[in-house]
Structure 1
Amino acid sequence: MMTNEPYYRPIRIEEVSIACNDGISLGGHIWYGDDPGPHGSVIINNATGVLAKYYHRYARFLAERGFDVLTYDYRGIGASRPPNLAGCTFRWRDWGALDFEAAIHFMRRRFADTPIKVVGHSVGGYLPGLAASASVLDRMLTVGAQYAWFGDYARDHRVAMFLKWHVIMPLLTAIVGYFPGKRLGWLEDLPAGVAYEWSFRRPKFEVAYDVAERSEVLSRIGAVTAPILALSMSDDEFGTPQAIGRTLSYYKNAKRTIVCLKPTDVGQEKVGHFNLFHDSHSSGFWLDTLVWLRGGVNPWPNKIAGFSWENA
Structure 2
Amino acid sequence: MEQRITELTAADGVRLTGHWWPAAKPSAAGTVIINPATGVHARYYHRYAAYIAARGFAVLTYDYRGIGLSRPETLKGSTFTWRQWGEQDFDAALRHALDLDCTGRVLVVGHSIGGFLPGYSPASNQIAAMLSVGGQFGYWGDYALTRRLPLFLKWHVAMPAMTLALGYFPGKRLGWLEDLPKGVAYGWGLQQDRAEQGLSGQAAEVMRERFAGVATPILSVTMTDDEFATPKAIRRAMRYYSRAPVTKILLSPKDLGLARVGHFDLFHARHEEGFWRQSLDFLREGRNPWADRVYI
2:85 alignment partner, SS class: helix
- Of the candidates 255, 267, 290, which is equivalent to residue 245 of structure 2? 255
Paired residues of 2:111 and 2:133 also in contact (CA < 8 A):
yes
* 8 Å CA contact 1:12, 1:33 repeated in 2: no
Q: Is residue 184 of structure 1 aligned with residue 174 of structure 2?
A: yes
Structure 2 match to 1:223? 213
| Correspondence 1:100-139 to 2 at 5 A | 100-139=90-129
Deviation at 1:27, TM superposition (A): 0.7
- Matched residue SS, 2:28: coil
User: C-alpha displacement at 1:208, in angstroms?
Assistant: 2.3
Instruction: Give structure 1 regions of 4+ aligned residues with deviation exceeding 3 angstroms.
Output: 33-37
Give the secondary structure class of the aligned counterpart of 1:75.
coil
Q: Give the letter aligned to residue 49 of structure 1.
A: G
Task: Give 1:207 deviation, angstroms.
Answer: 2.3
Equivalent in 140, 165, 177 of residue 130 of structure 2: 140
- Would the aligned equivalents of 2:23 and 2:55 in 1 still touch at CA under 8 Å? no
Secondary structure, in 3 states, of the residue corresponding to 1:202? coil
Name structure 1 gaps, 5 residues minimum: 1-10, 307-312
2:265 is matched with: 275
State the 1:34 CA deviation: 5.6
Choose from 287, 290, 312 the match for 2:277. Answer: 287
Cα RMSD, aligned residues only: 1.0
Normalising by structure 2, we get a TM-score of: 0.98
**TM-score if structure 1 supplies the norm length?**
0.93
| Counterpart secondary structure, 1:12 | coil
Answer yes or no: is the 8 Å Cα contact 2:18–2:60 preserved in 1.
Answer: yes
**Cα distance per residue 1:145-184 (max 9 Å; x no partner):** 1000000000000000000000000000011110000000
Q: Which residue of structure 2 aligns with residue 54 of structure 1?
A: 44
CA distance in structure 2 between the partners assigned to 1:199 and 1:268 by the alignment: 31
Cα deviation, 1:264-288, whole Å, max 9, x if unaligned, reads: 1011100000111000010111000
Q: Could you list the runs of 5+ residues in structure 2 that have no partner in the other structure?
A: none
Residue 310 (structure 1) aligns with: none
Paired with 1:44 and 1:225, the residues of 2 have a C-alpha distance of 19
Once residues 48 and 25 of structure 2 are traced to their aligned partners in structure 1, the CA distance between those partners, rounded to angstroms, is 19
- Whether the 8 Å CA contact 2:35–2:111 is kept in 1: the answer is yes
| Equivalent residue, structure 2, for 1:164 | 154
Q: Deviations over 1:231-267 (max 9, x none)?
A: 0100000010110110001101100010100001011
- List per-residue Cα deviations over 1:61-84 (Å, max 9, x = no partner): 000000000000000000000001
- In 2, Cα distance between equivalents of 1:186 and 1:255: 35
Corresponding residue of 2:30: 40
Q: Which secondary structure does the structure 1 equivalent of 2:80 belong to?
A: coil
Residue 208 in 1 paired to residue 195 in 2?
no
**Deviation for aligned residue 1:113:** 4.1
| Residues matched between the structures, number | 296
Q: Which amino acid aligns with 2:57?
A: F
Are 1:300 and 2:257 matched, yes or no? no
TM superposition shift of 1:89? 1.8
Residue from 226, 234, 239 that aligns with 1:236: 226
Q: Is the 8 A contact 1:12 1:34 kept in 2?
A: no
